[in-house]
Structure 1
Amino acid sequence: MALLSTPLSVRLAAEDVAFLARLEIDGTVTASDKIRALIRQARERAEEAGSFAQALTISHDQVAPALRGLRMLEQEGGLHSEVAIGLLTIAEEYLALALAAPRPGEAKPAEALVAHEARLVDCATRMTGLLLRWGVTPTAPAYDKAVVTRHLHSLIDLMNLISTAHAAPAEA
């Protein structure tokens, strides 16, 4: 744990105090804990993510409130969507990949770019695979059972064009 040696006093507007009281940040209880967590989050966003693990922590902090809110509403409403939860989970990973992108000064920039691109495509492919699996039946595990199939038609058209292009004999 960091050494907490510098006291700091601030005056806040009433709406900021009310917001701080409602704010839920993992591992915080008191207003002081929450302010320290907010400063840590701001520092992490301002500094470049040095690793995927750091980037995943930042992306989790950004996406977790939405996931938590969705799950709470699902519990209250008696509904569940593998589609919504699954897509938000993939979005969290994709954001982490974006934050962990290679930066100027990489020792081997070409290799770093190729590897990063492969990780992005891998994540996007897994998301596409999820959508396709959910579209196998006309009723996806979603709040709106037809939400996936309504959007798959344009993807199917595109996949047919790709299949046709790959099946065409290569011209010399």
Structure 2
Amino acid sequence: MVTTSTTMEPLSARIPSDLYLWLAQLQVEGATTNSDKLRVLLGQLKRHHDGALDYVAAHAWARDITSRLRESLVRTEGQTGRHSDVLNAMLDHVTTCLAIVVSNAPTSEQEAARLEDLLVRRGFALSEMLLRQATTTQASAYDPAVVQRHAAATLELAQTIQSPLSKGA
């Protein structure tokens, strides 16, 4: 549990019963009691509000908010024995991009260009992974045809772009 001050102040609040039940059942890493949970959650909110989330903290936050989905996928894999590289790569991509966006607040054109470069690089890495999955008719996915079904327009664009590039080479 992370706190910015060693002095603790009491806080009393009345909240609707549905929020109380939600908080009581919420799994928050490093927190067991409702008071612990509130401290952790308020600390996260303050860091987010202050813009103090560095990339590592933002990535941990993004993984935390996607943890229910990740756990569900692990359960599904355990029950069925099936795994989706496509879905896991998409989830990793979303987590990483969210962390990049949340941890950045460019104050100059140079910083904005750096952010743009990071996001475009991540976007093309995802495209490359999906294109690798498109090299066969059966992608490593819960729906093995999902990549083939959506790849046609991207492949057509890639072929169009390749022609002018290869002429200049």
Q: What TM-score does the superposition give when structure 2 sets the normalisation length?
A: 0.84
Residue 58 (1) aligns with residue 58 (2): no
Corresponding residue of 2:41: 38
Give 1:116 shift.
2.0
Q: Return the alpha-carbon distance in structure 2 between the equivalents of residues 121 and 62 of structure 1.
A: 23
Residue 151 (1) aligns with residue 144 (2): no
1:12 to 5, 15, 27: 15
Give 1:168 shift.
4.4
Give 1:11 shift.
2.5
Question: Does the CA-based 8 Å contact 2:47-2:53 persist in structure 1?
Answer: no
Mean alpha-carbon deviation: is it higher for 49-58 or for 32-41? 49-58
Question: Does the CA-based 8 Å contact 1:94-1:123 persist in structure 2?
Answer: yes
Q: Return the alpha-carbon distance in structure 2 between the equivalents of residues 4 and 79 of structure 1.
A: 50
Residue 69 (1) aligns with residue 72 (2): yes
Q: What runs of 5+ residues in structure 1 fail to find an aligned partner?
A: none
Q: 1:51 to 1:86 in 2, by over 3 A?
A: same
Q: Return the alpha-carbon distance in structure 1 between the equivalents of residues 123 and 61 of structure 2.
A: 20
Q: Return the alpha-carbon distance in structure 1 between the equivalents of residues 128 and 137 of structure 2.
A: 16
Q: Return the alpha-carbon distance in structure 2 between the equivalents of residues 165 and 11 of structure 1.
A: 65
Give 1:99 shift.
1.9
Equivalent residue letter for 1:60: R
Question: Does the CA-based 8 Å contact 2:106-2:112 persist in structure 1?
Answer: no
Give 1:152 shift.
0.9
Q: What TM-score does the superposition give when structure 1 sets the normalisation length?
A: 0.83
Alignment of 1:1-172 (within 5 A): 1-2=2-3, 3-49=6-52, 51-104=54-107, 109-168=108-167
Q: 1:4 to 1:24 in 2, by over 3 A?
A: farther
Percent of paired sites with the same residue = 28
- Tell me the number of residue pairs that the alignment of Structure 1 and Structure 2 aligns: 166
Q: What runs of 5+ residues in structure 2 fail to find an aligned partner?
A: none
SS in structure 2 opposite 1:160?
helix
SS in structure 1 opposite 2:82?
coil
Question: Residue by residue, what CA displacement relative to the aligned partner does 1:127-149 show, whole Å, maximum 9, x if unpaired?
Answer: 11110111111111111010011
Give 1:4 shift.
4.9
Q: Return the alpha-carbon distance in structure 2 between the equivalents of residues 56 and 49 of structure 1.
A: 13
Question: How large is the Cα RMSD of the aligned pairs?
Answer: 2.3
